A = this chain, B = another copy of it.
Amino acid sequence: MTTRDDQRAATYRRIVDVAVESLVESGFAATTTVEVQRRAGLSRGALLHHFPTKEQLFTAAVHRLVEFHLEAMREELAAAPPDTDPVARGVWVLRRASRRPSFGAELELWGAARTDERLRTALRSAERGALAELHAVIDAIFGPEIAARPGYPIVVDLTVQLMRGLAISASLQERVREEEPLIDHWADIVRGLLAADTVRPDS
């Protein structure tokens, strides 16, 4: 039997879940309160009972979406075969995670947040909260040995930005490229950067 508190929590969670689902599947613009209410199979009143304003709903959804992506990274890590070269493996895990539709939704929100102050506030709060976990996951993806190398922080920064660039460019590609020699190239470069004692080869 469900108590009232349980019911409340369950409905709340379901609303946030379908809001995230809508953001991922239908995008930011199409994720209206009516759409969320429809997906959740709730009345208008029920939705507004839990989230009096759209902003509150989106704030919760954005936080959940960021958690969602962390989870996706852990999944990709778990799914990756552990026997390959660790650098290439790490780079590819990050690449696969960045190809998830949920990450596309996240980047779409970052783009929209450029001119949407409320959304920007919500996003910053969500990303700030997940930052430590994000770094922990990335360290786990590359493993402790690689994470200890001197050039590692810069490599992670560059790799993350690169993955974001590739992800936001995805809409432009006519067809999805399964083969991505660029990623292999990048893995080779990273291997070189982490092998050298210093990150700056000349200068």
Choose from B107, B154, B182, B199 the contact partner of A111 (Cβ within 8 Å): B107
Q: Which residues of B contact A201 (CB under 8 A)?
A: 188-189, 191-192
Q: Which residue of B lies closest to A106 (CB)?
A: B111
9-residue interface stretch from A26-34, A72-80, A142-150: A26-34
A154 → B minimal CB distance (Å): 5
Q: A172 to B107, Cβ gap below 8 A? A: no
A170 at the interface (CB under 8 A from B): yes
Q: Does A165 sit within 8 A of B, measured CB to CB?
A: yes
CB <8 Å contact, B108 and A171: no
Report Cα–Cα, A192/B201, bound state, in Å.
7
Residues in B neighbouring A161, C-beta threshold 8 A: 162, 165-166, 169, 182
Interface residues of A in 113-163 (CB under 8 A from B): 113-116, 120, 123-124, 127, 154, 157-158, 160-163
A187 to B3, CA, bound (A): 61
Binary contact track A170-202/B, C-beta < 8 Å → 1, others 0:
111010000000100110110111010001111
- A interface list, Cβ under 8 A from B: 25-30, 104-105, 107-116, 120, 123-124, 127, 154, 157-158, 160-166, 168-172, 174, 182, 185-186, 188-189, 191-193, 195, 199-203
Q: Can you report 25 A-B residue pairs in the complex whose CB atoms are below 8 A from each other?
A: A25-B115, A28-B29, A28-B111, A30-B115, A107-B168, A108-B111, A108-B112, A110-B111, A110-B169, A110-B171, A110-B172, A111-B112, A113-B172, A127-B172, A154-B182, A154-B185, A158-B162, A158-B182, A160-B165, A161-B162, A161-B166, A161-B182, A189-B193, A191-B201, A192-B201
